[in-house]
């Protein structure tokens, strides 16, 4: 009985850790993601001009299913935004890693240092990170579905988050934690460059612990089960000794 209770407890911890993973697979819908149009990219502190539902693209993605544009995007500075339902404290995600797949095509060229990901707080402030020091690999044509870039950033100071814009001061651990505690939504860069024909898509968004976190949890579970097994063996020996006396 005790063994069963301990196993249930340990498995519960594992399930709780897995339940904290945030995903955007876009396999069959936009999953209530949006796109916001900003007054400027994060070269300076932007304001939000408008918000609309993200376009679902059923034919593109890895596997097929993504959000983005399969024809010319609507102009302005577009960033994809997380669902409204995700608003609320995300402090427990501090130290997690955000990853996503990004695809784009344009006859022009990529504009660097616009800010690739940003956290919007309930008070309207921003923390922004730029994770593309060089241009991501561009698709060879508008119908390609093979050239997807994988981008990522840690939700801690190692992600080089900045306050307000890409030229703002580096965010401290306390500032990142405060932004997560007062989380409104997160945006991912869609826009490639200013005023040109451009296509962009995103797939497989996720916020997950570092690989070592699950490894540590697995080691913890293994240690716990080993303790249960040893305890059971000791109890059996004690029982056998009592019977033989």
> Cα-atom radius of gyration of the chain, to the nearest Å?
23
**184 plus 75 within the same structural domain:** yes
| Segment (H or E) for 68 | strand 66-68
CB 73 within 8 A of CB 86: no
What are the angstrom distances between the C-alpha of 104 and each of 26, 191, 226?
17, 9, 50
**105 plus 199 within the same structural domain:** yes
Q: Which two tokens stand for residue 7?
A: 């196993």
**169 plus 218 within the same structural domain:** no
**222 plus 238 within the same structural domain:** yes
Q: Is 195 strand, coil or helix?
A: coil
Q: What is the CATH number of the domain that holds 122?
A: 2.60.120.260
**73 plus 181 within the same structural domain:** yes
**137 plus 40 within the same structural domain:** yes
**106 plus 87 within the same structural domain:** yes
User: How many domains does the chain divide into?
Assistant: 2
**231 plus 154 within the same structural domain:** no
CA–CA separation, 140 and 154 (whole Å): 30
**26 plus 144 within the same structural domain:** yes
Give me the helices (H) in the chain, please: 2-19, 173-181, 211-244
CB 35 within 8 A of CB 82: no
**198 plus 242 within the same structural domain:** no
Cα 168 to chain centroid distance, Å, stands at 22
Parent domain of 202: 21-208
Give 97's contacts (C-beta < 8 A, 6+ positions apart).
152, 153, 154, 155, 207, 208, 209, 210
**98 plus 192 within the same structural domain:** yes
**108 plus 163 within the same structural domain:** yes
What are the angstrom distances between the C-alpha of 101 and each of 61, 111, 221?
9, 18, 32
- pLDDT tens digit at each of 245 positions of the chain: 444 444 434 444 444 444 378 999 999 999 999 999 999 999 999 999 999 999 999 999 999 999 999 777 777 899 999 999 999 999 999 999 999 999 999 988 899 999 999 999 999 999 999 999 999 999 999 999 999 999 999 999 999 999 999 999 999 999 999 999 999 999 999 999 876 778 999 999 999 997 544 444 444 444 444 444 555 555 555 545 555 55
With vertex at residue 84, the alpha carbon angle to CA 175 and CA 125, rounded to the nearest 5 degrees, is 30
Give 93's contacts (C-beta < 8 A, 6+ positions apart).
20, 22, 155, 180, 207
């Amino acid at each position: 009985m005790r063994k069963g209770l301990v196993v249930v407890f340990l498995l519960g911890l594992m399930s709780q850790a897995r339940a904290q993973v945030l995903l955007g697979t876009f396999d069959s819908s936009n999953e209530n993601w949006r796109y916001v149009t900003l007054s400027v990219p994060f070269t300076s502190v932007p304001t939000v001009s408008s918000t609309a539902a993200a376009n679902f693209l059923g034919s593109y993605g890895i596997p097929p299913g993504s959000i983005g544009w399969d024809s010319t995007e609507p102009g302005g500075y577009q960033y994809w935004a997380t669902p409204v339902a995700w608003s609320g404290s995300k402090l427990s995600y501090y130290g997690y890693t955000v990853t996503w797949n990004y695809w784009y095509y344009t006859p022009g060229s990529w504009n660097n240092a616009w800010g690739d990901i940003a956290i919007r707080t309930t008070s309207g402030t921003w923390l922004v990170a730029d994770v593309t020091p060089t241009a991501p690999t561009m698709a060879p044509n508008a119908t390609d579905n093979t050239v997807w870039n994988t981008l990522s950033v840690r939700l801690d100071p190692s992600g080089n988050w900045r306050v307000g814009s890409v030229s703002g001061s580096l965010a401290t651990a306390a500032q990142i934690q405060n932004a997560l505690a007062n989380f409104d939504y997160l945006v991912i860069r869609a826009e490639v460059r200013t005023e040109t024909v451009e296509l962009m898509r995103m797939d497989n968004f996720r916020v997950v612990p570092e690989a070592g976190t699950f490894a540590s949890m697995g080691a913890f579970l293994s240690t716990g089960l080993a303790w249960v097994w040893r305890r059971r063996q000791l109890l059996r020996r004690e029982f056998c000794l009592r019977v033989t006396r």
